[in-house]
Amino acid sequence: MTNIAFIGLGAMGSRMALNLLKAGHNITVWNRNPEAAIEFVAKGVKQANSPRDAAMGADFVFSMVRDDGASRQVWLDPENGALAGMVEGCVAIESSTLSPGWVRELGEEASKRGISLLEAPVSGSRSQAESAQLIYLVGGDQATFDRCEPLLKIMGSSLHLVGPWGTGALVKLGTNALLGIQVTVLAELMGILEHSEADTARVFDVIGATAVSSPAARQMVSLMLAGDVRPKFPVELIEKDFSYAMEAAGSQEAAPTMAAARGVFQEAIRQGLGQSNMTSIVQLFVK
C-alpha cells in the first residue's frame, strides 16, 4: 500500500483520486472547498487541513487544480504548501493544465528540496477520468516516470513521456488549442447554415463521415445541436489554456489562428458564457 496525497477534488481530480482509492492505496486529500472531500471521508479517507498536512508522510503527492496561480499556492505557499510537507525522495506529480514556464519553475523548486517532479497533464474528460481511460502527456526524466508509472496506469490507459519539464504542458496546450479551434469553426459553420436552406443536422452528418472529421468534432456537433451547455469543459477554462498557449508562442503573429480562436472564447465570456460548456459559443453565431 502506497501513501498518496491528492490535492484538488474537482470534476477530474475527484475521479482520479477515487480510482487510486479503489486500487487499495492509502489516500489523504485536500481541496480548497472542504465539502468536496465528504465523499472520500465517508469511504475512510483522511482529509487534511492544508496541502502541507496532506503531503506529510506521503510517498507521492498529486495535484489537479485550475491554473498556474492555484498550482503555485498549493505547492509553494511558505506555510501551507505541499513541498513544505514533503521529505527528500518523495515525488510530486502535477496533473493540472499549466504554462510550460511555471512547470519548469516548479521542477527547479522541487529539485532544491530533493523532491522529484513529474508533470502529468491528461487528455480526456470526466467520463475518461471515471473509467481510468485518461491519456497522460508526461514531462520529466525516465527514472521518475518509471517510479510513477504503476500509479498512472491506475488512472490512465495510455502513458506518453514526451520530454523534459514543460514539454507535457506544451503537448496538452496544443491538444486543447486544436480542440478549441475545431469548436470555433463548427460554431461558425452552424451560424452560416442557419441562413441557408440546408438541413444543418444532415450537413454535419455528411461532414462527420469524411476523413477530415474527428471523434471530438462529432461529439461537439451533437452537443451544439442538442443545446447541451452543461460544463464538461467550460469556456473560461479553455480560454485560460489559449492564454498559456499564446504566452508560449510569444506573440499573436506567431500563432494567429490560436489568437483568433481565443478571441471568440473571450467574447463568449463577455457575454456571460464563461461557466457554460465550450460548445455554448455557438450562441454567438446562431440566434
Q: Find the radius of gyration of the CA atoms of the chain.
A: 20
Residues 67, 70, 72, 78, Cα dihedral to 10°: 180
Q: What distance, in Å, lies between the first and last C-alpha atoms of the chain? A: 56
Helix axes 256-270, 167-194, angle to 10 degrees: 70
Number of Cα atoms under 13 Å in the Cβ half of residue 251:
2
| Contact partners, residue 277, CB within 8 Å, separation at least 6 | 223, 228, 229, 230, 231, 232, 233, 234, 235
Q: Are 238 and 261 a contacting pair, CB within 8 Å?
A: no
Active site residue 46: no
Question: What are the angstrom distances between the C-alpha of 155 and each of 29, 142, 246?
Answer: 16, 19, 30
Task: Give me the catalytic one of 153, 172, 232, 287.
Answer: 172
Q: What is the dihedral of CA 26, 30, 33, 38, to 10 degrees?
A: 20
Contact 117, 71 (CB under 8 A): no
Residues marked as catalytic: 172
